[in-house]
Amino acid sequence: MNEPLRGLEIAPPEERAVLLGKEAYISESYAREEGAKLWSKVWQVACRAEEVPNVGDYVTYDILDESIIVVRNAPDRIEAFHNVCQHRARRLTTGCGHARQFVCPFHGWRWNLQGRNTFVLCREDYGDTLKDEDIALPPVRCEQWGGWVWINLDPDCVPLREYLWPAAPMLDSFDLDRMRYRWRQWLIFPCNWKVALEAFNESFHARISHPGLSEFGSVADYWCRGQGLHCWHGPEQSIGAGTMSKSDKPAPIMPGSHIEPRKRLGLTMRRFMDEVNALTTQTIVDAAQRLVDELPEGTPAGEVGAHLMQRAREDDEARGVHWADVPPEVMLNAGHDWHLFPNTIFLQTRTHALCYRARPNGWNPDSCIFEAYVIELFPEGEAPETEWQFVPDWTDERWPKVLREDFQNMPEVQRGLKSSGFSVARPNPRQEATVSHFHQVLADYMGRDAPVPITP
């Protein structure tokens, strides 16, 4: 094992057959319990650091009954506070913005960016009874990794990096912190937050739900790993574009597999851009169209993929985009899709990542807030200006076609979970072991029995 993974024993691919009950997805009391046992204990992504670039920039992050202000209060420091007035509980602010201080709109109490109270209306009326330390904004644990700002409502929680093990050491070299938003959209979705996430923490569905992606033969079987709280998966076969594979097992035969590799990769990259608006970049799409000119007919798929990545990397280098240097050992083991417990998923590469976050929308187990976004490396100072776009209708064509295909499944799963004709889910023991691992960890937090193994 080489340097970056020294001391990190990576778990072998998981194989386990379990049954998953439905309570976690549809029970109102379970959703309530999640507030106390899960959301108040876990590290969760509040925003990207790029959303608060200047001192005074802030974002509010809401989870169930809690609202948290994440604010940059020094050039090199981001802190978080409960977003609630210490006078009579009015929420101080909403959304995001820039502030020199936080002023309560009710009776005008004020706090500086460090959370210290600076003004109480008619303070003299309180005599000596009002102590500064009692009326400071209560702090919330806040740390950064991967360009994200994370918060944890539990003051006694473990440090973020410890919580993120083994994801942080395995993924540090992907330089996710250098990436900036390319696009970001959100909506309220009529399904449980876990149903939404589980549409994205396995790739097993892709060959059926996303026929357009597999049309050119870019389909694989997948291995899944779970370690610590988190899980990840990757293709067993190289699917082109330089993806490293864990085995030489031949890929399943799909329509389009007969197309010769140079053309196939060109078509695949263009399809990714057109139908996902992710999983590739314009640099890679453009370089992929040149493969037929740059390589002789019959070049094996692996060589075509390596050539494409080499050329795209050179093209990006020339415009000032420096790809992450990911050691081959990491590339081999990091797969392509991570689920950081409980509610962050991303598909990472050396130049970009497609990311998702899902969280409950209040206490209703049938509703969630779902966000999808792409981050990418841009030349210094050239990242596009983006904002969160609320696109409420999931059939709206502003949602990429492939996401709309995923969205079709989500409310139908939520309905099906309530059917008297459905009692337990049976995730594929190998290719959906990420789903099982997630429920194992969730059960631990929730004080429930682990998922039931299926015995022959």
Which residues are at the interface with Fe ion (CB under 5 A)? 406
Window of 103-111, 157-165, 221-229, 319-327 that interacts with ligand FES by CB under 6 A = 103-111
Token output for 269: 């990259």
Q: Alpha helices, DSSP H only, in 226-300?
A: 261-275, 282-289, 291-294
Q: Which does 404 bind (CB under 5 to 8 A by kind): Fe ion, ligand FES, none?
A: none
Q: Which does 109 bind (CB under 5 to 8 A by kind): Fe ion, ligand FES, none?
A: ligand FES
- Smaller CB distance to Fe ion: residue 34 or 406? 406
Is residue 328 within 8 Å of residue 244, measured between CB atoms? Answer: yes
The interface with ligand FES within residues 27-86 (CB under 6 A) comprises: 85
CA neighbours within 13 Å on the CB side: how many for 24?
28
88 binds ligand FES, rule: CB under 6 A: yes
Name every residue whose Cβ is closer than 8 Å to that of residue 52 and which is 6 or more positions away in sequence.
58, 59, 70, 71, 72, 78, 96, 149
Instruction: Give the one residue of 90, 161, 263, 401 binding ligand FES; rule: CB under 6 A.
Output: 90
CB atoms within 10 A of CB 246: 16
Query: β-pairing, 57-63 with 96-98?
Result: antiparallel
- Smaller CB distance to Fe ion: residue 275 or 406? 406
Q: Which residue has the tokens 């988190």?
A: 230
DSSP states of 8-47 as a string? --PPPPP---EEB-SHHHH-HHHHHHHIIIIITTS-EEEE
Instruction: Give the one residue of 27, 49, 106, 363 binding ligand FES; rule: CB under 6 A.
Output: 106
**Cis peptide bond prior to 327, omega within 30° of 0:** no
Burial class (CB in 10 A: 0-12, 13-18, 19+), 173: middle
Token output for 403: 């996401």
C-beta of 130: minimal distance to ligand FES in Å? 13
Q: Which does 191 bind (CB under 5 to 8 A by kind): ligand FES, Fe ion, none?
A: none
C-beta of 432: minimal distance to Fe ion in Å? 13
C-beta of 273: minimal distance to Fe ion in Å? 16
How many amino acids of this chain bind ligand FES (CB under 6 A)?
A: 9
Q: Which does 406 bind (CB under 5 to 8 A by kind): ligand FES, Fe ion, none?
A: Fe ion
C-beta of 209: minimal distance to Fe ion in Å? 6
Residue 157: φ, ψ to 5°: -70, 160
Name every residue whose Cβ is closer than 8 Å to that of residue 212 and which is 6 or more positions away in sequence.
271, 275, 401, 402
Please work out, in degrees rounded to the nearest 5, the angle formed at the alpha carbon of residue 354 by the alpha carbons of 47 and 187: 60
341 binds ligand FES, rule: CB under 6 A: no
Instruction: Give the one residue of 32, 77, 100, 107 binding ligand FES; rule: CB under 6 A.
Output: 107
Site string for ligand FES, 386-425 (x = CB under 6 A): ----------------------------------------
- Smaller CB distance to ligand FES: residue 83 or 414? 83
- Smaller CB distance to ligand FES: residue 100 or 319? 100
Name every residue whose Cβ is closer than 8 Å to that of residue 175 and which is 6 or more positions away in sequence.
324, 350, 377
- Smaller CB distance to Fe ion: residue 261 or 400? 400
- Smaller CB distance to Fe ion: residue 198 or 406? 406
109 binds ligand FES, rule: CB under 6 A: yes
- Smaller CB distance to ligand FES: residue 112 or 282? 112
The site for ligand FES (CB under 6 A) is made up of 85, 87-88, 90, 104, 106-109
